[in-house]
Structure 1
Amino acid sequence: MCMEDEIESVLQERIMILDGGMGTMIQQHALSEEDFRGHEFKDHSKPLKGNNDLLSITQPDIICDIHKEYLLSGADIIETNTFSSTRVAQADYGLEHLVRILNCLHIKKLLKIFILADKINLVTGSFGTRYVAGSMGPTNRTLSVSPSVERPDYRNITFDELVEAYTEQAKGLLDGGVDIMLVRLREKKISYISIWHTTLNKLNIVSGTIVDKSGRTLSGQTGEAFVISVSHSKPLCIGLNCALGAVEMRPFIETIGKCTEAYVICYPNAGVLCVRIPIFALDGLVNVVGGCCWYYTRTYQIAEAVRSCKPRVPPSLSEGYMLLSGLEPFRIGPYTNFVNIGERCNVAGSRKFAKLIMAGNYEEALSVAKMQVEMGAQILDINMDDGMLDGPAAMTRFCNLISSEPDIAKVPLCIDSSNFSVIEAGLKCCQGKCIVNSISLKEGEEDFLEKARKIKLYGAAVVVMAFDEVGQATETETKIAICSRAYHLLVEKVCFNPNDIIFDPNILTIGTGMEEHNLYAINFINATKVIKETLPGAKISGGLSNLSFSFRGMDAIREAMHGVFLYHAIKYGMDMGIVNAGNLPVYDDIHKELLQLCENLIWNKDPDATEKLLHYAQNHAQGGKKVIHTDEWRKSSYESFYFPPPQGIEKYVTADTEEARLNQEKYPRPLNIIEGPLMNGMKIVGDLFGAGKMFLPQVIKSARVMKKAVGHLIPYMEKEREEKRAEQGSTEQEDPYNGTIVLATVKGDVHDIGKNIVGVKLNASCNNLYEMERLAIKIPLLIGGATTSKTHTAVKIAPRYSAPVIHVLDASKSVVVCSQLLDESVKDDFFEEILEEYEEIRQEHYESLKIVLLIPTVKPKFIGTKVFEDYDLKRLVEYIDWKPFFDVWQLRGKYPNRGFPKVFNDKTVGEEAKRVYNDAQNLLKMLINQKKLQARGVVGFWPAQSVKDDIYLYAVEEAVGSSEPIAKFHGLRQQAEKDSACTDPYYCLSDFIAPLDSGICDYLGLFAVACFGVDELCNEYRKQDDEYNIIMVKALGDRLAEAFAEELHERVRKEFWAYCSAEQLDLCDLRRIKYDGIRPAPGYPSQPDHTEKLTMWKLANIEETTGIGLTESLAMTPASAVSGLYFSNPKSKYFAVGKICKDQVEDYALRKKLSVAEVEKWLGPILGYDTE
């Protein structure tokens, strides 16, 4: 068993004990300067007292005795005395030259102590191996903050210098023989890179330091942000040490434990550890425990206290989330709305920013970044690409300045450059997990993979442009092909996390007057849809400003185009975009005429759309810049419009609020204004935001207007309250209400506005559902917000909380609900109604996971199989898709000459494409005429019914339900959570077959086709050293097999099954899957399990009748072969199962009568958990 497996085995069995502080133990010896010097450094020029690491050389007996005491106390892990053994730290003592000796020699002495381990085990009664942890501590220099108040961008050491220093230390520790690395650096990425430079296999423990009760690390990160920043290094353990006592550390340890799959280590500084630490252990929070600086030799008490406690079981975190961080975490997942990447910190895209950077006015340029965040940017794009700039230096300086501004540094950065040295400069300044924008296949696969590996080493996500060796993708198919190729390279060759891959399929300029550009917007949207469906985990982004570049100078037109384009692109799967945060118009607020013109241009509905837009701009523009903003909505009285308006205009809100307050007849109390027009306005904002017609910056603007209106009313409400007290003769200062309500929002969320709205009557506070449950607090909980729903509350939240949980549609409804909760006469009935309603919602939700499509079925023309022993190849030629053929030869034209036969017109590859095509035609004609190739296949149909996620097949209709099925196809259901805006169910292939209990007899088909003779021809050409024709024959064989599958499926639809007998589609429509039905293949996204082929082969006797076989890995032979299942349901569609959890794997294994391990072997790429 290797060391990694051995330690993991121990961690799974019990809680391990880390030794205590070294420095505090050394202090007990009251050593003098002479003691630190010893004989070896008696004449050294600098003072050495305080250099504890040096004692391994000058006072080895003292250090060894300390280690022995910890061993006797029951410590499993002993730290080396190397906390400051880097050349940076040792430079203060003039001992840089001793770094290797301090790290390597000390360990060899320490290992001798372990010879006593067996004797110590007998004394203490403990068992098991002891392990040496190489201690790596921080230096007195840091990259995260400036040592100079006057120069916030200054650093007194570089990234590369620190990497070099820690690499040297890591090498010494590893050469000395440590088992694990204990890292307590401020710059955790540097430690990982240093260890990676030294060895790719050594385990490392990462431990951060919380410095105060806010939960921030020394560099300002929250616990979750810290975890996200280092998780790419896949640490053995991650946790906290020092600073706080056990009580104060608990919530932060809990937070870390919930967001990491690593083991959790905890060694606090102060407190009664032998009492508190066991509570952590009993609650399942920790795997490794110990004490830090101010803890002496009470390790034995901790070891005894946790001996019988079970270790924490690391969670299997859900897949599908992109995790980023600045000082704070940012999760992009199923419930995340469109992510705004601020674009203005770009010297190529913002004149103001470029002017400030060129002038060296970086501090003022920082205000541009701050404004972007304030206006709603969730990620900041930083670009310093200008020929007059030193890109790496400019990027470094600006990113360092951002680190000095917490209000900016809280968001992740997107390091944007076409120069990879500039990207690396930015990555070296980012302590959080950022995005690299971008890399591409432009320079080939080797360059692409090299850059991707570096990005992965820095722990960043990556944007991949749809650009390859031929050029920029403009057509939908090319965009998809390039992105698919890049995805598989990243996932399979670099082991890149799919959730960290972002594709930019190129938002290109429309409205140029050139016909070939008219489909650019449509192509992006269509490519986005397919990429999201076929490349699990991948995200989609794009630079929005490119779309409207033809209308530069016409800002209003450009903003309208952006708003309309995003409205549609988001619905098709676009996750994020580089935008000017705060300048996106609300879809419904765009002038109707302008809206229609933009729709026509984007969707290419009108050939004159560009001219009409220009004409509109000329008639509505002021100074050629902006559409005149009129105040038409002001012409109505405040009773007939809802304020605050979605535009977030503050100009009139105070006057309007006061006008409403003075209308005592309509609004007797100030509260009536809040509950009336103000709440109606915010309801519109919420509806628009939820529908994707409004973006976060507009929500924030509207929230500010709302706050201003509420703020105006508060003094009058307070006055009303005082008058009521006087009238009742009450002198109490407390609010005369029936109870106290805790109103919770997500920490740091914009929905703080909701607390201010309702907080006019209710005091605001913050709490946590799980903590409330743990503390047995039994009070009703109200849930609301843009990402919540009644279904989400009933299914996800209510079952996890013992007291009633109620979803409120919006803040305006909360007062009514609270009054019912506080009224003893109706409270119980209200609770009962809620429980019954939510139980019904849960049942409906679980039923909806299995969609039932009861559509009339068509019986095939025959039941059983039909074999094609020598299919006419001439029938297949017209069905050949030549585009993949040219891809084999790397012949890709540039737009508009990408597809076949347009590629022949391309200036670069056109002539060669013609030559290869002519050769292919001549060879194909010869092969067909001389019968060198043979097409064989089989097709079959059987009565079928679905039973949950399986499909049962029967020999005849009469056997359905009364006899055992002759075969079963087992399905996998989508399990990863989908976007809240997505209405699609969680698909499984069985959904497209009528259920057994439906009373409808359904059918399922299958096929297998192949082109034989390719291998024999290749052998003949190989004897002639004719590599050209070897490649040509293989390519033609593959094309014929695919053409056979396409042509046969058409015959199935029109002739053999005849469920679409009147179908009239051309070849283009066939390739775009315009027909009804699907033919998914085992091993592909809709059913990723190759073992389902075994059922197909057995059912239809495929190998016996056609000669098409299966290898041990279940690949088909010959290689030019295609197989799959036929579904006729018009609602059937291709989908990707995506990541699945262990509960489904266990159920699938049970249904297939296989072991879980065997199933995991075949389903490895889609497992949403670590099998080890």
Structure 2
Amino acid sequence: MGETEKIFRQLLSERILVLDGAMGTMIQALKCDEKDFRGERFANHGRPLKGCNDLLSMTQPDAVEKIHRDYLEAGVDIIETNTFNANAVSLSDYGLEAEAYALNVAAARVARQAVDRVARRTPDKPRFVAGSIGPTNRTASLSPDVNDPAFRAVTFDQLVQAYYDQIRGLVDGGVDFLLPETTFDTLNLKACLFAIAKLFGERRIRLPVLASVTITDRSGRTLSGQTLEAFLTSISHADLIAVGINCAFGPQQMSPFVEELARLSPLPTFAYPNAGLPNEFGGYDMGPEDLGRALGNWAKEGWLNLVGGCCGTTPEHIAAIAEAVRDARPRTPPEPELLTHLSGLERLTIRPESNFIMIGERANVAGSRRFARLIREEKYEEALAIAREQIDGGANLIDVNMDEAMLDSVQAMTTFLNYIAAEPEIARVPVMIDSSNFDVIEAGLKCVQGKAVVNSISLKEGEEEFKRRARLIKRLGAAVVVMAFDEEGQAATIEHRVRICRRAHRILTEEIGFDEGDIIFDTNVLIVATGIEEHNDYAVNFIEAAKQIKALFPRGHISGGVSNVSFSFRGNDAVREAMHAAFLYHAIQAGM
């Protein structure tokens, strides 16, 4: 942990910290014209540039620095860089994609200079620069074309590259923190967090990261459809220092969601609402005194560790907020729940008292002839009906598998998951991305905004490949099924099964950073009654191994393909069903 992070964490425990207010509102008040936006450097640029606020950090740095200083004089602890749209995706509207890195460096330096100047006058009060990272102007989870649900205006990889270049500029310009904010699509945020982890890993550095979501309707969901619970679950893999809510609402409308966030999150929490709702002219009418009073009440309720303002707020609003929370005690985050959480649009929590978790496995080209035919014929909308039927039948997760020699499995997985994203009744449950081809798994993970499950990885190809895949799964925010295979092959004995699971658990938890609750061990339900003597104990071995593994790793999970056990009796459904019932009874008792 760096010195800046230590100071920041200490301050969070002592008082409620104050963020700045709206940059865009203050820039609009400058009434800059096209010439002001262009400056000398972009005087001959081929497109109109008025409205590209991020550009002013280059062309009008003194004006931007004055905005920062005004907020600092109002009493803030943290100012945000003028970089909300300074990414290649958003800048493409102005033909400025190539300037993304330079814009972020310039903006970070302007903010750093403002903070350093004020700090020289008041060295006893630490102040920080947060690198503002907006959500871009495109969504990775939804199609902009209602007639083509699988189409995406931007891909996960494109977002990662754009965010990576922005983050690189912010870090090189000297920010203290990174703040991805105004998240309307969790998949966009996951791409940003992936880019942050990539840069940190390459440079062997770490800066504190805060993340903020935007709730866009009064039902408490993001624009891409997730509940607040599901959102928090989807980003739980990231090493965040705090999580918050901003924009879309004024304090009255945002209040229930700030309360919910304070109840749910084990991290420090923050909020920065708009100055009310916009009026008919697009302005904001809530004055400093009213906003300060409302946010002071949030502080009295114990909901806040940081607070600030979003659209329509000014230094006067922030001064009122700072005064309102000055003597309030910061929120004490609750202890984290040691439970397994997965998510689609909604959260699935697996508790010790939960019923047996059912995984629908018919959206599988190897397990359903009808599904395979529809996928081969590219009738994806009809194939959705199979997934929907399983959810209606009680499935808690949907397993999707596209492993067939005649398919482009990466394309098929991507297309079908994009179709699922457009169907809330299906997308509400978590997805299990199932493939023996890791490229297909990776492609699938880049399509889902929720916390998915990967099925599966194993030690069959050795530790290094296992670690590579596990690191990528962790960065993409998924739980993982570990098959009981190693370099010696498939485990059949109790001892071999337990040995593999011990080894995998050590690597995943101690080296990769997985939470034990995100590991699912599949210890191989193997066929019995084949006429081969060594197969006779396979079912008993599974049950005993499950019992030992559950004792070793009580927050881990055990799974298995139950139908395998009776495969010798295919065609005799009565016998198979009886075997499944007996096997399940004992396996569940053992911890499955």
Shorter-chain TM-score above 0.5: yes
- Given that 1:77 and 1:133 are in contact with CA atoms closer than 8 Å, whether structure 2 keeps it comes out as yes
Tell me the alpha carbon deviations over residues 912-932 of structure 1, each in whole angstroms, 9 at most, x when there is no partner: xxxxxxxxxxxxxxxxxxxxx
Question: Secondary structure, in 3 states, of the residue corresponding to 1:61?
Answer: helix
Cα distance in 1 for residues equivalent to 2:221 and 2:551: 39
Q: Does 1:322 align with 2:319?
A: no
- Given that 2:543 and 2:587 are in contact with CA atoms closer than 8 Å, whether structure 1 keeps it comes out as yes
Cα distance in 1 for residues equivalent to 2:160 and 2:571: 47
Q: Does 1:357 align with 2:375?
A: yes
Cα distance in 2 for residues equivalent to 1:64 and 1:505: 60
Q: Does 1:156 align with 2:153?
A: yes
- Given that 1:324 and 1:432 are in contact with CA atoms closer than 8 Å, whether structure 2 keeps it comes out as yes
- CA drift at 1:109: 2.4
Cα distance in 1 for residues equivalent to 2:85 and 2:63: 18
The aligned residue for residue 455 of structure 1 is 473
Letter in 2 for 1:269: N
The aligned residue for residue 237 of structure 2 is 232
- The number of equivalent residue pairs is 569
- Given that 2:64 and 2:110 are in contact with CA atoms closer than 8 Å, whether structure 1 keeps it comes out as no
Tell me the alpha carbon deviations over residues 83-132 of structure 1, each in whole angstroms, 9 at most, x when there is no partner: 1111111111011121111100222222222233147649xxxx511100
In terms of Rg, which structure is larger? 1
The aligned residue for residue 251 of structure 2 is 246
Aligned pair partner of 1:183 in 172, 180, 188: 180
Aligned pairs for 1:579-594 (under 5 A) are none
Letter in 2 for 1:50: G
Cα distance change of structure 1 residues 356 and 540 upon mapping to structure 2, 3 Å threshold: same
Cα distance in 2 for residues equivalent to 1:364 and 1:557: 33
Cα distance in 2 for residues equivalent to 1:278 and 1:433: 35
- Given that 1:213 and 1:248 are in contact with CA atoms closer than 8 Å, whether structure 2 keeps it comes out as yes
Cα distance in 2 for residues equivalent to 1:253 and 1:212: 14
The aligned residue for residue 283 of structure 2 is none
The aligned residue for residue 117 of structure 2 is 116
The aligned residue for residue 6 of structure 1 is 7
Aligned pairs for 1:794-805 (under 5 A) are none
- CA drift at 1:81: 0.3
- CA drift at 1:562: 2.2
Aligned pairs for 1:336-415 (under 5 A) are 336-415=354-433
The aligned residue for residue 105 of structure 1 is 106
- CA drift at 1:447: 1.2
Cα distance in 2 for residues equivalent to 1:278 and 1:558: 64
Select between 515-524 and 275-284 the one with higher mean Cα deviation. Answer: 515-524
Cα distance in 1 for residues equivalent to 2:419 and 2:240: 30
Cα distance in 2 for residues equivalent to 1:119 and 1:179: 17
The aligned residue for residue 427 of structure 1 is 445
Q: Does 1:563 align with 2:581?
A: yes
Cα distance in 2 for residues equivalent to 1:403 and 1:397: 10
Aligned pair partner of 2:221 in 205, 210, 216: 216
How does the TM-score come out when normalised to structure 1? 0.48
- CA drift at 1:557: 3.6
Question: Secondary structure, in 3 states, of the residue corresponding to 2:31?
Answer: coil
Identify which of structures 1 and 2 has the higher relative contact order when contacts are C-alpha pairs closer than 8 Å and 6+ apart: 2
Letter in 2 for 1:547: V
Tell me the alpha carbon deviations over residues 492-540 of structure 1, each in whole angstroms, 9 at most, x when there is no partner: 2222211111000101112323332222111111111111011232110
The aligned residue for residue 51 of structure 1 is 52
Question: Secondary structure, in 3 states, of the residue corresponding to 1:343?
Answer: strand
Letter in 2 for 1:309: A
Question: Secondary structure, in 3 states, of the residue corresponding to 2:485?
Answer: coil
Cα distance in 1 for residues equivalent to 2:575 and 2:150: 39
The aligned residue for residue 508 of structure 2 is 490
Aligned pairs for 1:1045-1064 (under 5 A) are none
Tell me the alpha carbon deviations over residues 160-186 of structure 1, each in whole angstroms, 9 at most, x when there is no partner: 111011001000000111000010243
Select between 563-572 and 210-219 the one with higher mean Cα deviation. Answer: 563-572
The aligned residue for residue 306 of structure 1 is 325
Q: Does 1:147 align with 2:144?
A: yes
Question: Secondary structure, in 3 states, of the residue corresponding to 1:464?
Answer: strand
Cα distance in 2 for residues equivalent to 1:342 and 1:223: 25
Tell me the alpha carbon deviations over residues 358-403 of structure 1, each in whole angstroms, 9 at most, x when there is no partner: 1111111111111111110101111111111111111111111111
Tell me the alpha carbon deviations over residues 1124-1152 of structure 1, each in whole angstroms, 9 at most, x when there is no partner: xxxxxxxxxxxxxxxxxxxxxxxxxxxxx
Letter in 2 for 1:48: L
- Given that 2:484 and 2:524 are in contact with CA atoms closer than 8 Å, whether structure 1 keeps it comes out as yes
Q: Which runs of 5+ in 1 are unaligned?
A: 575-1172
Cα distance in 2 for residues equivalent to 1:29 and 1:65: 11
Cα distance change of structure 1 residues 44 and 228 upon mapping to structure 2, 3 Å threshold: same
**Percent of pairs identical after alignment?**
52
Cα distance in 2 for residues equivalent to 1:556 and 1:424: 39
The aligned residue for residue 552 of structure 1 is 570
Cα distance in 2 for residues equivalent to 1:331 and 1:266: 26
Letter in 2 for 1:279: N
Cα distance in 1 for residues equivalent to 2:324 and 2:213: 25
- CA drift at 1:217: 1.0
- CA drift at 1:328: 0.5
Cα distance in 2 for residues equivalent to 1:397 and 1:361: 11
The aligned residue for residue 133 of structure 1 is 130
Question: Secondary structure, in 3 states, of the residue corresponding to 1:134?
Answer: strand
- CA drift at 1:408: 0.6
Aligned pair partner of 1:281 in 277, 285, 299: 299
- Given that 2:135 and 2:189 are in contact with CA atoms closer than 8 Å, whether structure 1 keeps it comes out as no
- CA drift at 1:424: 0.2
Question: Secondary structure, in 3 states, of the residue corresponding to 2:41?
Answer: coil
- Given that 1:72 and 1:120 are in contact with CA atoms closer than 8 Å, whether structure 2 keeps it comes out as no
- Given that 1:344 and 1:353 are in contact with CA atoms closer than 8 Å, whether structure 2 keeps it comes out as yes
Question: Secondary structure, in 3 states, of the residue corresponding to 1:231?
Answer: coil
Cα distance change of structure 1 residues 566 and 549 upon mapping to structure 2, 3 Å threshold: same
Question: Secondary structure, in 3 states, of the residue corresponding to 1:324?
Answer: strand
- CA drift at 1:219: 1.2
Cα distance in 2 for residues equivalent to 1:553 and 1:85: 62
- Given that 1:399 and 1:426 are in contact with CA atoms closer than 8 Å, whether structure 2 keeps it comes out as yes
Cα distance in 2 for residues equivalent to 1:52 and 1:556: 70
The aligned residue for residue 519 of structure 1 is 537
- CA drift at 1:73: 0.6
Q: Does 1:262 align with 2:260?
A: no
Cα distance in 2 for residues equivalent to 1:120 and 1:261: 36
Aligned pairs for 1:805-816 (under 5 A) are none
Letter in 2 for 1:293: C
Cα distance in 2 for residues equivalent to 1:55 and 1:318: 45
Cα distance in 1 for residues equivalent to 2:22 and 2:576: 62
Cα distance in 2 for residues equivalent to 1:138 and 1:104: 19
Cα distance in 1 for residues equivalent to 2:223 and 2:233: 16
Cα distance change of structure 1 residues 121 and 250 upon mapping to structure 2, 3 Å threshold: same
- Given that 1:234 and 1:262 are in contact with CA atoms closer than 8 Å, whether structure 2 keeps it comes out as no
Tell me the alpha carbon deviations over residues 984-1041 of structure 1, each in whole angstroms, 9 at most, x when there is no partner: xxxxxxxxxxxxxxxxxxxxxxxxxxxxxxxxxxxxxxxxxxxxxxxxxxxxxxxxxx
- Given that 2:115 and 2:129 are in contact with CA atoms closer than 8 Å, whether structure 1 keeps it comes out as no
Letter in 1 for 2:263: K
Letter in 1 for 2:136: T
- Given that 1:465 and 1:506 are in contact with CA atoms closer than 8 Å, whether structure 2 keeps it comes out as yes
Q: Which runs of 5+ in 2 are unaligned?
A: 277-289
How does the TM-score come out when normalised to structure 2? 0.94
Aligned pair partner of 1:417 in 408, 431, 435: 435
Question: Secondary structure, in 3 states, of the residue corresponding to 1:415?
Answer: strand
Cα distance change of structure 1 residues 205 and 78 upon mapping to structure 2, 3 Å threshold: same
Tell me the alpha carbon deviations over residues 863-916 of structure 1, each in whole angstroms, 9 at most, x when there is no partner: xxxxxxxxxxxxxxxxxxxxxxxxxxxxxxxxxxxxxxxxxxxxxxxxxxxxxx
Aligned pairs for 1:405-804 (under 5 A) are 405-574=423-592
The aligned residue for residue 168 of structure 1 is 165
Cα distance in 2 for residues equivalent to 1:444 and 1:118: 53
Tell me the alpha carbon deviations over residues 456-482 of structure 1, each in whole angstroms, 9 at most, x when there is no partner: 111111100111111111112211111
Letter in 2 for 1:513: G
